Amino acid sequence: MTHKKIQLLTSAFAAFVLGLSASAHAQTGKPLLIGQTYVQTGPLASLSTEPLIGIRAMFTTLNANGGINGRPVELRQLDDAYDPAKGAENVKTFAKDGAIGVLMPIGTSSAVGAIKAANELKIPVVGAYTGAGPVVKFTDYSFPVRISFDEEYSRIVNHLFTIGLSRIAFAHNDNPGARSAMESTQKFIAERGDKMVGSVAIKNDGSDAAERAAELAKLKPKAVVLSATNDVAAKFITAYRAAGGETAFYSFSFLNGQKLFQDIKKDAAGVVISQVVPYPWNSAMPVIAEYQAAMKKIGVNEFGYASLEGYVAAKVMVEGLKRAGANPTPESLQKGLESFKTLDIGGIAVSYRPGEHRGLTFSELSMLKADGRYLR
C-alpha cells in the first residue's frame, strides 16, 4: 500500500471518529484540513472533554449542510499531554500534512508550544483554550477568541473590592498558566493598595488538596480566588469547608459549575465563576440557538459554557475559512480572519484586523445555586 493511500485511510478514520464521515462521503470536494493539538492524557486531560464536544457539534452540522463551498472540514487531532514541545511538534505535523489552520489548543503549555510553531510556519491558530499572557499577546498568526486571564482576574478583583471583600487569597494548580493567574491577581490587588493574604499551589492530581486547604484556611481570607481544574477545585473546596474555613470562592472560567455540583453537591453552593461566553441556555441569542440545535444533532442535550466555547471557537474558524477564497491556504485564512474588523456571529462580536487580534470582549459572573443551576 502506498504512503498516500495510508494517509487517505488515516484521514477517513479520523473523520469517522469525529462523526463526520457520513457527511464527508456525501460531498465530492477535497476536505479542508484543520489540526488540533490537545490534552488527551495526563492529569489535565479533563480540560479537553467539554470543548471538544462543542467543536464536534459545529463541524458535524457544517458538513451535513454541505461544508464550505462544497468541501467538508476534516479535524485531525493529536495528543500533546500538556507538553509545549509536543504541542509544537503536532503543529509541524499538521502543517506538513497540508492543514490550513490550527483550532483551539487546550491549556496554556499546549498553546504556547503550538503558537510558537505556528508563527514559524505561518499557519493561523484560532481560539486557544487559555487566556494566559504569552498566548493572548499579539502575534501575526495567533487569533484568541476568549478574553485574557488578566481581564478575568481584574474583573473578579474589582468586583470583590466593590462589595467590600479585600482580604483575598489564591489557590491554584501547580502549572504555569495557573501560576500566572495568581501573579496577575496579586498585581491587581496591589494596584488597589492592598496585599494578597496568601496563596497555595496544589498538585495537578489534587493529592495534596486537603493539606493546602488547611494551610490557607488558617489565614482566614474573606475570599479565595481559584485557578484550578474541576477535580482539584472539588477536593480543595470540600477540604476547606471541612476544615471550618468560611470564605467566598471565586473561580476563573475553566471551572465547570455543573460538574462541580455533581461532585460535591451542597459544598458547591455560592461558588462564583467568571464566564467568557454567554449563558448557554439563552436560546433567544442566535448563536446559542444555533449551538443548542447542533448539540442535539449529535445526541447531546446537556449544554454548558465549555462546550459553547468550543462551538464558538470552531465557528470563528469557519467564518475565517468562508472568507479565505475558493481554495483556502494558511495565508488566505489569516487574511480572511483579519477581514472581520468587528464581526457579529449571532449576538456576540469578534474583532480581528491587521495588527490587532482582539477576539471577544465578553465576560460575566455567575453563582452556583444550591440546586446546581446558575444565578447570573
Please state, for a pLDDT cut of 70, what percent of the chain lies above it.
Answer: 93
**Residues 198-246: pLDDT tens digits?**
999 999 999 999 999 999 999 999 999 999 999 999 999 999 999 988 9
Q: Which amino acid is at 158?
A: N
Count of residues making up the chain? 376
pLDDT over threshold 70, residue 16: no
Average pLDDT over residues 44-57: 95
For all residues of the chain together, what is the average pLDDT?
92
Q: What pairs with residue 365 in β-bridges?
A: 274
pLDDT band at 103 (very low <50, low <70, confident <90, very high): very high
pLDDT over threshold 70, residue 64: yes
pLDDT over threshold 50, residue 265: yes
Average pLDDT over residues 143-162: 96
Give the span between the Cα atoms of 128 and 179, in whole angstroms.
18
Q: Coil, helix or strand for 339?
A: coil
pLDDT over threshold 90, residue 177: no
Average pLDDT over residues 272-296: 98
pLDDT at residue number 28: 54
Among 4-13, 35-44, 300-309, the least confident range? 4-13
Among 11-20, 82-91, 346-355, the least confident range? 11-20
Identify the helix (H) or strand (E) that includes residue 352. strand 349-353
pLDDT at residue number 180: 87
pLDDT at residue number 245: 87
Closest CA to 238 of 165, 175, 152, 171: 171
pLDDT band at 13 (very low <50, low <70, confident <90, very high): very low
Give the span between the Cα atoms of 152 and 213, in whole angstroms.
23
Give the span between the Cα atoms of 328 and 308, in whole angstroms.
26
Handedness of CA 128, 131, 133, 139 (dihedral sign): positive
Please state, for a pLDDT cut of 90, what percent of the chain lies above it.
Answer: 87
Average pLDDT over residues 18-43: 73
pLDDT at residue number 4: 39
Give the span between the Cα atoms of 342 and 345, in whole angstroms.
10
